[in-house]
């Protein structure tokens, strides 16, 4: 007997029941007995149809029903039945290998290399992105040269792939713009071109390219060479202990040194303090005066701290505009007082850009290790919480949450999911609700159509906004939503990730021309999508 049509019927009925529950009025409740009957029926029928995954999920959920409330609202039902929703998505969209990939640890994706491709040929972008993502890379693309340069500094890629022939600015001009502010960073750069003359190749290498490919590209050779460049980048990062821009120790050295300080503490029983300091409104410095001036501020700040701490103290660049300072044999009160003095003195230093004089402040968070049960990682996390407490209280100050406290967050970030498929919406909302982005309060809301979002008050709010947007929807599709956002009052407030079908080449090309920040093809891997979202959100700080 062919069970396929019965299996499809069961899945459709299951989805229909979930859809009915999830669209109940806010005040309408669902009884536990109704949920029990639903799961009991699903277990029996799926077992009969040899759908072992559905039988296992329903069995597990039934075992958890004993200690639940008598009645549920639709949100409670959604969270409880999420494992079933996720399994439906895997079943409908994937083969066995994809289903396994969706269960993979997020660590793989969070450590994946980031590659940026800049090319006005959207077809080439789509092709290269697909090929490299099959290798486990996170690929960001852009057809707009000016947006691409900003994206480069925001995303900090591990490899840059750049077409020479671009509108407005050619690839050589972009390379100059990047390397003018980024001379001391090693980012492997591959230039591609329809032209392959010796003059073009020589010029590419003179401008700083590490490799050159003529179009059409041999994809097998391309993948091998990109992987080789990524290996060189990784080796370089592992060997270097001094941050190139600021000339203080880097994060790799910090990891090693923290263990040494911790061992000294366990031996001597003398506490030591860890501080994370962060330049206030540093993004505004970059946006107003340029990245070259931003690097100068970073250098002078790092060297100022280095000159004004003790020889036994240590400063390391932690990432971006954040630095870690270790104070041996120092209490949190002593470290806090010293940092407050440094803030006061540093705020009086004047920076000059094109005859404009400006000053900069910094904030700090402190935590003291005085108990062996506290690990260095826990101390770093607590110092980071203290830093964001200092920022939430006005900046240019130091805070110390020596006892774990709830982090006060004052920056609101709207995240809106727009998709007509309630299964996709449920998966994305669940994923987003599990995320924590430092210094942001995430306000997550789902919409089942572009029209409902555009007509909402939420779309008009003057706050940072991240959209996950389905490309194809009834009434108003994702491209129309994207166009309205980009032509609206606050286009710079938005970052947009678009979900698109595997064969929607024209849709992707249009989205890229409208300025979408990233796109992901359906069906997607949840953990990979999470890593991409985190990358984008971390540029919105």
Domains of the chain, residue spans = 4-93, 108-239, 251-399, 412-540
Q: What is the mean pLDDT of residues 382-403?
A: 88
> For the whole prediction, is pTM greater than 0.95?
no
> Which element (helix H / strand E) includes 303?
helix 291-308
CATH code given to domain 108-239: 3.40.50.2300
| pLDDT of residue 403 exceeding 60 | no
Between these two residues, 4 and 164, which has the higher pLDDT value? 164
Q: How confident is the model at residue 99 (pLDDT cuts 50, 70, 90)?
A: very low
CA distance 77 to 71: 9
The pLDDT confidence band at residue 3, using thresholds 50, 70 and 90, is: low
Q: Which fold has domain 412-540?
A: Rossmann fold (3.40.50)
Q: How crowded is residue 103: how many other Cβ atoms within 10 Å of its Cβ?
A: 11
pLDDT of residue 106: 42
Same CATH fold, 108-239 and 4-93?
A: no
Instruction: Examine the pLDDT at 83 and tell me if it is beyond 80.
Output: yes
CATH topology assigned to domain 251-399: Alpha-Beta Plaits (3.30.70)
Which class is 4-93 in CATH?
Answer: mainly alpha
Look at residue 105 in the predicted model and tell me its pLDDT.
Answer: 41
Question: Cα dist. 143→117, 118, 316, 365 in Å?
Answer: 9, 6, 36, 40
Q: Which of 347, 331, 344, 348 is nearest to 275 (CA)?
A: 331
- Cα separation of 201 and 40, whole Å? 68
pLDDT exceeds 70 at position 161: yes
Q: What is the pLDDT of residue 197?
A: 92
Is 477 a residue whose pLDDT tops 90?
Answer: no
In this structure, the strands spanning 211-214 and 464-470 are: unpaired
pLDDT for 438? 60
DSSP state of 298: H
- pLDDT, mean of residues 110-125: 86
The pLDDT of residue 424: 83
Size (the chain), residues: 541
Place of tokens 């390397």: 179
Tokens of 468: 């996950």
For 23-73, where are the alpha helices, taking DSSP H only? 32-48, 52-63
- For range 310-327, the mean pLDDT: 92
For residues 196, 179, 185, 228, the Cα torsion angle rounded to the nearest 10 degrees is -10
Range scoring the smallest mean pLDDT among 259-273, 326-340, 406-420, 461-475? 406-420
Instruction: Using pLDDT thresholds of 50, 70 and 90, give the confidence band for residue 278.
Output: very high
Distances (CA, A) of 326 to 238, 258, 276, 367, 387: 22, 8, 9, 10, 15
Lowest mean pLDDT among 41-50, 254-263, 400-409, 465-474: 400-409
Q: What pLDDT does residue 399 have?
A: 92
Tokens read off for 347: 């705020």
Residues 6+ apart with CB under 8 A from 374: none
CB neighbours (10 Å) of residue 6? Answer: 14
Q: Report the pLDDT value the prediction gives residue 110, as an integer from 0 to 100.
A: 52
DSSP reduced 3-state for 522: coil
Q: Which long-range contacts (CB under 8 A, 24 or more apart) does 233-238 make?
A: 233/113, 233/158, 233/159, 233/186, 233/187, 233/188, 234/158, 236/186, 237/186
Residue 190: DSSP 8-state: E
DSSP bridge pairs for 276: 324, 365
What percentage of the chain carries pLDDT values higher than 70?
A: 90
Higher-confidence residue of 166 and 117: namely 117
Q: What's the rounded Cα separation, in Å, for the pair 40 and 63?
A: 11
Among all chains, which residue has been given the structure tokens 């040494």? 260
pLDDT > 60? residue 122: yes
When mean pLDDT is compared over 27-41, 102-116, 182-196, 267-281, the highest value belongs to 267-281
Phi, psi for 406 (deg, rounded to 5): -70, 135
Q: How confident is the model at residue 343 (pLDDT cuts 50, 70, 90)?
A: very high
Looking at residue 242, the DSSP 8-state letter turns out to be B
Reported as a pLDDT band with limits 50, 70 and 90, residue 67 is: low
Return mean pLDDT, the chain.
84
Interaxial angle between packed helices 422-433 and 82-93, expressed in degrees from 0 to 180 and rounded to the nearest 10? 120
Q: Mean pLDDT check: name the lowest of 22-36, 302-316, 377-391.
A: 22-36
Does residue 305 carry a pLDDT above 80? Answer: yes
Lowest mean pLDDT among 74-78, 367-371, 402-406, 499-503: 402-406
pLDDT computed for residue 29 by the predictor: 85
């Amino acid at each position: 007997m062919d069970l396929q049509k019965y299996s499809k019927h069961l899945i459709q009925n299951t989805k229909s029941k979930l859809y009915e529950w999830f669209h109940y009025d806010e005040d309408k409740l669902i009884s536990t007995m109704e949920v029990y009957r639903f799961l009991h029926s699903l277990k029996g029928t799926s077992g009969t149809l040899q759908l072992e995954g559905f039988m296992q999920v329903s069995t597990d959920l039934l075992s958890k029903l004993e200690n639940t409330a008598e009645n549920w609202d639709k949100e409670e039902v959604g969270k409880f039945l999420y494992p079933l929703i996720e399994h439906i998505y895997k079943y409908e969209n994937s083969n066995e290998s994809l289903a396994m990939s969706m269960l993979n640890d997020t660590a793989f994706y969070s450590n994946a290399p980031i590659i940026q491709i800049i090319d006005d040929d959207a077809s080439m972008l789509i092709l290269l992105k697909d090929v490299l993502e099959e290798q486990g890379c996170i690929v960001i693309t852009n057809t707009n040269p000016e947006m691409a340069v900003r994206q480069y500094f925001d995303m900090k890629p591990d490899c840059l792939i750049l077409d020479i022939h671009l509108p407005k600015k050619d690839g050589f001009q972009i390379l100059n713009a990047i390397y003018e502010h980024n001379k001391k960073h090693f980012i492997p750069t591959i230039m591609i071109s329809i032209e392959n003359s010796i003059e073009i190749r020589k010029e590419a290498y003179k401008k700083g390219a590490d490799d050159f490919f003529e179009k059409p590209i041999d994809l097998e050779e391309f993948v091998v060479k990109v992987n080789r460049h990524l290996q060189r980048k990784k080796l370089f990062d592992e060997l270097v202990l001094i941050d190139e821009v600021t000339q203080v120790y880097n994060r790799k050295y910090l990891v090693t040194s923290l263990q040494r300080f911790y061992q000294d503490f366990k031996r001597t029983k003398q506490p030591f303090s860890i501080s994370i300091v962060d330049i206030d409104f540093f993004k505004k410095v970059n946006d107003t005066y340029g990245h070259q001036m931003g690097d100068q501020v970073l250098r002078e700040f790092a060297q100022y701290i280095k000159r004004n701490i003790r020889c036994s103290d240590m400063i390391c660049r932690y990432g971006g505009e954040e630095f870690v300072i270790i104070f041996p044999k120092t209490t949190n009160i002593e470290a806090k007082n010293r940092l407050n003095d440094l803030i006061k003195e540093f705020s009086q230093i004047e920076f000059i850009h094109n005859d404009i004089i400006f000053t900069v402040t910094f904030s700090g968070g402190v935590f003291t290790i005085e108990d062996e049960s506290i690990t260095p990682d826990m101390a770093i996390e607590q110092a980071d919480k203290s830093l964001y407490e200092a920022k939430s209280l006005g900046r240019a100050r130091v805070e110390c949450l020596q006892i774990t406290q709830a982090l006060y967050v004052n920056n609101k970030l709207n995240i809106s999911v727009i998709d007509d498929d309630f299964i996709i919406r449920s998966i994305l909302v669940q994923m987003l609700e599990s995320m924590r982005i430092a210094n942001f309060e995430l306000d997550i809301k789902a919409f089942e159509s572009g029209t409902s979002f555009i007509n909402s008050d939420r779309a008009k709010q003057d706050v940072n906004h991240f959209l996950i947007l389905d490309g194809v929807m009834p009434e108003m599709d994702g491209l129309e939503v994207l166009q309205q956002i980009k032509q609206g009052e606050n286009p710079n407030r938005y970052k947009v990730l678009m979900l698109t079908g595997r064969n929607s080449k024209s849709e992707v090309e249009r989205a890229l021309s409208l300025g979408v920040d990233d796109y992901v093809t359906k069906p997607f891997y949840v953990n990979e999508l999470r890593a991409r979202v985190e990358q984008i959100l971390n540029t919105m700080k």
